[in-house]
Amino acid sequence: MSHDGIDRLTLPTLGDLDWVPATTRPDLLAPAVAEALARWTAQDPRVAEQVAVVEIDPDLADTATLNAAHDLPPAVSANCVLVAGRRGGDERIAAAVVRATTRADVNTRVRSLLDVRKASFLPMDRAVAESGMEYGGITPIGLPEGWRVLLDAAVATDGEAALIGSGLRRSKLLLPGALLARLPGVELVEGLGVPVG
């Protein structure tokens, strides 16, 4: 491991899945995700070596289903939810990324960060249409400009990889949590994820 927590040499892998470098399989990425990965790779060459993709059965795209089918640890999955709120006539949208063992603190933490009176999940039809991604595959990489990307600081510091969407239901991305924290535009937020239950 390097001093910033990112192993520079090995492509991350997980479970019994056949991972390959994501930059070599743009066909497994939503167009906006492929473009964002290419831009990010140009800024940080580690992205080409450290962001892996795998093709999956789209019926297994939901976190719990995929984890059960491939015996993956839930603590590695990171879920991305889209949240919106209004301040005056101004709509503010953010992606909140937290470990699957937690849930995003939308009513307190996200609402406060967006500085809105009420925050709620972006309706599915809008989330899909405006992100250019499939429902169940929405990811923090490649979201529209102007949308904030809030990442639970624990994802960046717990030493685990992050299993996230690819923009498509038929594939998943895997990268070090410390590298995800370096995604351009990401804001690290302490306590964004709260325990489920």
User: pLDDT tens digits, residue range 30-67?
Assistant: 999 999 999 999 999 999 999 999 999 998 888 888 88
Q: What is the pLDDT of residue 156?
A: 93
pLDDT at 64: 85
Instruction: Kindly tell me if the per-residue pLDDT of 196 is higher than 90.
Output: no
- Contact between 163 and 97 under an 8 Å Cβ cutoff? The reply is no
Q: What is the mean pLDDT of residues 4-32?
A: 85
In this predicted model, what pLDDT tens digit does every residue of 77-121 receive, in sequence order?
999 999 999 998 899 999 999 999 999 999 999 999 999 999 999
pLDDT of residue 3: 46
What is the C-alpha separation between 74 and 64, in angstroms, rounded? 8
Structure tokens at 35: 């473009």
What's 77's DSSP letter?
Answer: B
pLDDT tens track for 125-182? 999 999 999 999 999 999 999 999 999 999 999 989 999 999 999 999 999 999 999 9
Rounded to an integer, what distance in angstroms lies between the CA atom of residue 191 and that of residue 171?
Answer: 29
Q: Residues with Cβ < 8 Å from 92, sequence gap 6 or more?
A: 84, 85, 86, 114, 115, 116, 148
Range name among 1-10, 68-77, 94-103 with the lowest pLDDT average: 1-10
Provide the 10 A C-beta neighbour count for residue 112: 11
The answer to whether 177 and 157 have CB atoms below 8 angstroms apart is yes
